[in-house]
Structure 1
């Protein structure tokens, strides 16, 4: 489930405790569950990263990035159930990777935990990281401007909700926040990108900034499965602010007249108000 707000919260949580420290070891934890994707091998990671300083900790779309003094970068993609933790993992059997860090006087641990095993941990060389950042991903959802939104949306005839999940169009928005953004902007999830007006794109752009910024302030959304936790194993708070996500059949908080509807688009659940976000589903 981790999307941009949750990953940003992870980054902010670990940055003060990780940046500037030296990597002593990189090790794979014993896990009886489905293995995660690790590239290159952990042995190669250990050889390349040992005694390197973590110069900075950043977010790239829905990924955590540990930049090393060598120019290499660890890129951790949590996907559905991955977490970056400093302490108190929800369960020890789902620990995947451990970084042992040193400040010259004492050692500490940074863990990647993943219950379902869908996450990835990769160590990129500088050129590989540049390709990921500039070719494989679109602009970040928090920094994209209105003009670029317009240009990118005009290139596709897909429904807006489906297009928002395409990380090559805009990076960082996932299924949960796409529904929330569209409800706040008053745009139907079935609206074709090519038919969006300038006013609608302006509302969409403003809603992206507001929803994602608010979710970061609340440290992300912890849903009913309880999987997402911040770096100190604490729950987020934005789930209490959701307008439509996972609220099917509840009254819309905006119009207070119509129950929230749930439909499936591109094999993902979409939640919306048919009154506040009116347009015929036939346009999907």
Structure 2
């Protein structure tokens, strides 16, 4: 968390900053909190990015990317609790960076992170390619093309749920949307990738794409901890559409009273599924 739909929602929400100039960059001192990871360093980040114009706002997997003039990229990696915001933050004490802007419709862009696990980087195009190019990050889950999911994962011996979380294979999928997609495709999360038929791969890719697009329309999922917010500090809505995620012990929406959702652990992550309709 956040996953592709949440980060895409952030990207769309902060897109009005395109065309603005970064006047200054502030990293508020938070001595009681875990420090945010900034690359290459706070001083170098300021030197690289200050005074540059934001040309575009893009996404790389689970990261928001500001494309600056001069082939520089600012990369926001939210990880567990990070948010990229234009509106008032959920709390002032967890604002980790402020980019003050000129020449656009908003005065500043914020990076907020409650736990401080996120990363903020200012990279040249070469550095960006080294860290997030095809050798390090797989194709986006919404840009796989026909048969792309099977081509990336079909030879793996891993459980399909575990394989879907591999960002080197497919970028953007996390725990929530892997579970929801597998339920929609009627595939058991513990099955080996190599066991799936061509028809099942087609069904799974369609389910994955549908779930991700639906979640984007709902502006992502805000879980019970309330951490995720969109760029204007508002809740997402897809959590109200969950079929299996975090619904252990409740009836399967497909099977009704004939089966309840179960929870198992795979690769140290909780997995939710229906033992009756997911085979």
The TM-score bracket by the shorter chain reads over 0.9
Tell me the alpha carbon deviations over residues 120-146 of structure 1, each in whole angstroms, 9 at most, x when there is no partner: 011111112123132210000001023
* Counterpart mapping for 1:16-165 below 5 A: 16=16, 18-31=17-30, 32-103=32-103, 108-131=107-130, 132-165=132-165
Q: Which residue of 1 aligns with 2:272?
A: 271
Q: Which residue of 2 aligns with 1:206?
A: 206
**Cα distance, 1:4 vs. partner?**
0.2
Tell me the alpha carbon deviations over residues 15-65 of structure 1, each in whole angstroms, 9 at most, x when there is no partner: 02x100000111211223111211011111111111110000011100000
2:180 & 2:199 partners in 1: Cα distance?
18
Of 33-42 and 209-218, more deviation after overlay is shown by 33-42
8 A contact 1:30–1:93 mirrored in 2: no
| Structure 1 segments (4+ residues) deviating >3 Å | none
Q: Report the secondary structure of 1:127's partner residue.
A: helix
1:8 & 1:151 partners in 2: Cα distance?
24
1:199 & 1:63 partners in 2: Cα distance?
32
Q: Report the secondary structure of 2:2's partner residue.
A: coil
Q: Which residue of 2 aligns with 1:282?
A: none
Of 36-45 and 260-269, more deviation after overlay is shown by 36-45
Say if 2:252 is the partner of 1:218: no
**Cα distance, 1:107 vs. partner?**
6.7
2:72 & 2:86 partners in 1: Cα distance?
22
8 A contact 1:146–1:201 mirrored in 2: no
1:117 & 1:176 partners in 2: Cα distance?
22
CA RMSD, aligned part only? 1.2
1:200 & 1:145 partners in 2: Cα distance?
16
Say if 2:199 is the partner of 1:236: no
1:107 & 1:263 partners in 2: Cα distance?
45
1:58 & 1:107 partners in 2: Cα distance?
18
8 A contact 2:86–2:106 mirrored in 1: no
* Counterpart mapping for 1:153-192 below 5 A: 153-192=153-192
Task: Return 5+ residue gaps in structure 1 as ranges.
Answer: 279-284
Q: Report the secondary structure of 1:134's partner residue.
A: coil
8 A contact 2:147–2:202 mirrored in 1: no
Q: Report the secondary structure of 2:169's partner residue.
A: coil
Q: TM-score, normalised by structure 2?
A: 0.97
Of 169-178 and 23-32, more deviation after overlay is shown by 23-32
Tell me the alpha carbon deviations over residues 75-98 of structure 1, each in whole angstroms, 9 at most, x when there is no partner: 111011000111211111111011
Count of residue pairs the alignment pairs up: 276
Tell me the alpha carbon deviations over residues 145-178 of structure 1, each in whole angstroms, 9 at most, x when there is no partner: 2333222212310000000000011000000110
**Cα distance, 1:188 vs. partner?**
0.4
1:195 & 1:99 partners in 2: Cα distance?
49
Q: Report the secondary structure of 2:228's partner residue.
A: coil
